[in-house]
Amino acid sequence: MTVDYSVLPHHKILCIDMKSFYASCSAVMEGLDPLECHLAVVGDKSRQGSIVLAASPRMKKDFGIKTGSRMFEIPNDPRIRLVEPKMATYVRISTELTRLFHRYVPKDAIHTYSVDESFIKIDGATSLWGDATTIARKIKDDMEREFQLPCAIGIGPNMLLSKLCLDLEAKKKGGCRVDI
């Protein structure tokens, strides 16, 4: 059986994924650069077996510490900052990010998938704000300017493909991911 994909609806969907959201929010609250600092959010700093809930990109790259690692796996290094989660603050920031999306599209065009990932249907917004890449760039720039938070944005004709573009491009540059 073959499927004629040309007859299926073709939209412009942005998949916006915050980079290491809990760690990035915590870094900003600590006055640190979320992409350059070594920070881990751990469930309970008083317990060595506590789980890492989030790690900054540099923490992942330089020390191999990621979500699910244990606190005892984190090396004793003066560059590393350990913080406990501030869940209510993360949810509040997520809500503010959704308000930012409302500047570009109506409420019914936003699908909040999780605290750090949303899908935005921008079909009707392109005549106001520009093509999909331009809108993605504007949203990313607004986030960085107003919240100092990094994100990656995938663009596709539906939610699945916009997410796949984002995920596949995280492993290999070029193609369909917009990481601007």
Task: Give the pLDDT of residue 4.
Answer: 73
pLDDT digits (tens, 9 = 90+) for 85-119: 999 999 999 999 999 999 999 999 999 999 999 99
Share of the chain above pLDDT 90, in %: 82
Catalytic residues: 117
DSSP 49-73: TPBEEEE-HHHHHHH---TT-BGGG
| CA angle (59 as vertex; 26, 84 as ends), nearest 5 | 35
* Domains detected in the chain: 9-19+87-178 (3.30.70.270), 22-83 (3.40.1170.60)
pLDDT digits (tens, 9 = 90+) for 8-44: 677 899 999 999 999 999 999 999 999 999 999 999 9
Residue among 162, 161, 170, 174 at smallest CA distance from 136: 162
Distance (Å, whole) CA 29 – CA 10: 40
Q: How many other CB atoms are found less than 10 A from the CB of residue 58? A: 20
Say which DSSP state 114 is in: E
DSSP 117-141: EEEEE-GGGHHHH-SHHHHHHHHHH
The pTM of the whole model exceeds 0.85: yes
pLDDT digits (tens, 9 = 90+) for 64-93: 999 999 999 999 999 999 999 999 999 999
HSE (side-chain half, CA atoms, 13 Å) at 180? 18
114 CB burial (10 A radius; 0-12, 13-18, 19+): exposed
